[in-house]
Structure 1
Amino acid sequence: MKQFIGPALLACAAVVLTNCSQATPYQPESASSAIHGGYSHEQIAPDLFRVRFHGNSLTSRETVEAYLLYRAAELTVEQGGTWFRLLDRETEHTVTREIRRDPLYRPWYGTNYGYWLPYWSYRVRGGGWLYYDPWHADPFWADRFDSREIEEFEASADIRIGRGPVPTDDTRVYDARRVMADIGPRVVRPKG
């Protein structure tokens, strides 16, 4: 039995790492999804909807906005419409900075003394000064390794669904089936 535990554990780890290292596919947003993010909508009136697409940190703004447009078209067809009018649209850009202390710093007097940790400056070639402070995770030997920025995009749109012939005199009106035909081939869906 022991000989199967190692490979099984390795396979599980590979699945987890694969799911964590993928851009958000075109999927409904759900807490039980293996990959964070997806689309959602709420009905505001009989023919008025607010549509959203939330991407994870590996999903580009362009993809988030394309999936939002695709979802608006798909929802229009699901509701029996032929076209939709874009009433309002917004894309939120969230940047989170993750900072970690230098994991190698261990003073002989322990870490129980709060901010009583070393801080010094040093001059670099070219005349500038850099600073070392383990609380800000910017040690001189690894200037950006202990901090990173995480970007996520979430786009939303309010749409009004229409039926019948597509109005041609309004630039905010989209033919739902045409949008689906144009964008659909590039939409990435979840595997499995």
Structure 2
Amino acid sequence: MKYSLILALCGLMITTACASSPDYRPALTDDGQGYSSQVIEANRYRVTYRGDTAQTSAEVQNMALLRAAEVTMEHGGDWFEIVGDETSGDVKTQQRLADQDITTRPELRRDCGLLGCTTRGYPVDVRRSDIETETRVIYSHTLEMVIHQGPKPQGNSRAYDAVETAANLRTTID
């Protein structure tokens, strides 16, 4: 009884982990999923968000933009301007054994000696395997931004209001 309960709980945890969306969180390592921020100058920052294999390029860009808005608010800014950005993709290829068949077929063997030849049939197992190759891309988006205070200038397509941007993008990750 105890064993089946533990087994059921493990299955539930695995199913939940596979079905949930990726966490919006700080990256734990340099190449791990999540965001990181780096100070370049007093009001200039570099923000990077690295996704996982389930996230699209657009989702990763939104996560980086959300982090830029948060950094702006954390440092007392009202709006930020993107002065540089780059998206890159890291291709991961994985191979696995997809299908394996074992069939038995007869093999005839002829043995000859002094008194003549004998032919016998022996069963032989034949294995056939298919290998599936899966290629996934892990996207990373880096923004270089400058934090500003006061009202956001009109007509600058690279300027974002921090509060509005964060509010709008948070709805896409919940």
TM-score, normalised to structure 2, is 0.73
The residue number in structure 1 matching 2:137 is 151
> Which has the larger displacement, 149-158 or 175-184?
175-184
2:88 corresponds, among 65, 77, 92, to: 92
Q: Deviations over 1:97-122 (max 9, x none)?
A: 2234688599xxxxxxxxxxxxxxxx
Quickly say closer, same or farther: Cα 1:150–1:180, change in 2 above 3 A. same
The residue number in structure 2 matching 1:75 is 71
Q: Which amino acid aligns with 1:75?
A: V
Could you tell me how far apart the structure 1 residues matched to 2:27 and 2:17 are? 15
1:40 aligns with 2:26: no
> Which has the larger displacement, 67-76 or 22-31?
22-31
What are the residue-to-residue correspondences of 1:1-192 with 2, within 5 Å?
3-30=1-28, 37-100=33-96, 104=100, 142=130, 145-188=131-174
Could you tell me how far apart the structure 2 residues matched to 1:101 and 1:168 are? 57
Q: Which amino acid aligns with 1:12?
A: C
Unaligned runs of 5+ in 2: 103-127
Q: Which amino acid aligns with 1:173?
A: A
Could you tell me how far apart the structure 2 residues matched to 1:70 and 1:59 are? 15
Q: Which amino acid aligns with 2:166?
A: M
> Which has the larger displacement, 77-86 or 9-18?
9-18
State the secondary structure of the residue aligned to 1:53. strand
The residue number in structure 2 matching 1:136 is none
The alpha carbon displacement at 1:157 in A equals 0.4
Q: Which amino acid aligns with 1:159?
A: M
Q: Deviations over 1:86-138 (max 9, x none)?
A: 011111112222234688599xxxxxxxxxxxxxxxxxxxxxxxxxxxxxxxx
Quickly say closer, same or farther: Cα 1:104–1:184, change in 2 above 3 A. closer
Structure having the higher Rg: 2
State the secondary structure of the residue aligned to 1:157. strand
